[in-house]
C-alpha cells in the first residue's frame, strides 16, 4: 500500500500539471482514484485505483478532495482523484421568469426555500444544482417551490457535483 499525505495540485486549475498528467497518460502511467462527493470530505481512507493500486489517504484536517486533484506523483506513476457523478435536482429559470415576477424576489424565495433544506448548491448561469438521493426529492422540491412553478423548471440530472466555494453545508439524512 502507498500512502498519500497531501494534495499535490489540481489538473483543472494548473496548466503545467495538466500537461504533466497528459504525458503520464500517453505512457499509460496514470491511475484514477474514484471517490464519492461524501468520501471527498474524509481525511482518512483506504481505496484502490482503477489499476489496482492500494492507496491510503492521510490528509490534513479540513482537506476536501476535488475532481482533478493529484494525490500521488512519482516518475513512474500519477494518481488523480475523480469525483463520481451523482444525481442532482436541476432548477432552471424559465426564459419568461421576469415578465410578471420580480427577479430579486424570486431569487430570495428560491434561496430561502433551498437554505431550509441545508444542502450544498452549485450555480452555473441561471441554473441551480442540488444533490439528491432519491427521485422523491424532485417531488419535494416541486412542492416547496410550487409558488414559483411558473418561473422554474425542476428536473433530475447527473453530474460531478462540487459545491460552490462557501456553499458546502451539512446535510440532513
List of domains in the chain = 2-83 (2.60.260.20), 86-159 (3.30.70.790)
The pTM assigned to this predicted structure is 0.80
Q: How far apart are CA 42 and CA 58, in angstroms?
A: 9
Sheet architecture: strand order including 2-4: 2-4, 54-58, 44-48
Residues 91 and 128 sit within 8 Å (Cβ to Cβ): yes
pLDDT number for residue 151: 84
pLDDT number for residue 96: 64
Please tell me what DSSP assigns to residue 133: S
pLDDT number for residue 172: 47
pLDDT number for residue 168: 54
What is the full per-residue pLDDT of the chain (173 aa) written as tens digits? 999 999 999 999 999 999 999 999 999 999 999 999 999 999 999 999 999 999 999 999 999 999 999 999 999 999 999 999 999 999 998 876 555 667 788 888 888 988 888 889 999 988 999 999 999 999 999 999 988 888 889 999 999 999 877 655 554 44
Residues 131 and 37 sit within 8 Å (Cβ to Cβ): yes
CA distances from 50 to 31, 58, 90, 91 (A): 6, 20, 30, 33
What the block records as the C-alpha cell of 115 is: 437554505
* Nearest in space to 156 (alpha carbons), one of 86, 84, 83, 87: 87
Amino acid at each position: 500500500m502507498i500512502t498519500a499525505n497531501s494534495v499535490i495540485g489540481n489538473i483543472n486549475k494548473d496548466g503545467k500539471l495538466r500537461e504533466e498528467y497528459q504525458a503520464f497518460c500517453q505512457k499509460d502511467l496514470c491511475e484514477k482514484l474514484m471517490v464519492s462527493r461524501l468520501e471527498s470530505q474524509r481525511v482518512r481512507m483506504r481505496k484502490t485505483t482503477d489499476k489496482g493500486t492500494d492507496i491510503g489517504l492521510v490528509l490534513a484536517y479540513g482537506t476536501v478532495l476535488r475532481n482533478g486533484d493529484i494525490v500521488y506523483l512519482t516518475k513512474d506513476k500519477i494518481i488523480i482523484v475523480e469525483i463520481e457523478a451523482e444525481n442532482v435536482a436541476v432548477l432552471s429559470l424559465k426564459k419568461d421568469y421576469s415578465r410578471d415576477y420580480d427577479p430579486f424576489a424570486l431569487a430570495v424565495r428560491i434561496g430561502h426555500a433551498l437554505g431550509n433544506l441545508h444542502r450544498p448548491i452549485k450555480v452555473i448561469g441561471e441554473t441551480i444544482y442540488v444533490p439528491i438521493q432519491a427521485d422523491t426529492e424532485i417531488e419535494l422540491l416541486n412542492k416547496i417551490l410550487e409558488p414559483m412553478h411558473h418561473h422554474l423548471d425542476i428536473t433530475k440530472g447527473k453530474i460531478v457535483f462540487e459545491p460552490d466555494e462557501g456553499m458546502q453545508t451539512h446535510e440532513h439524512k
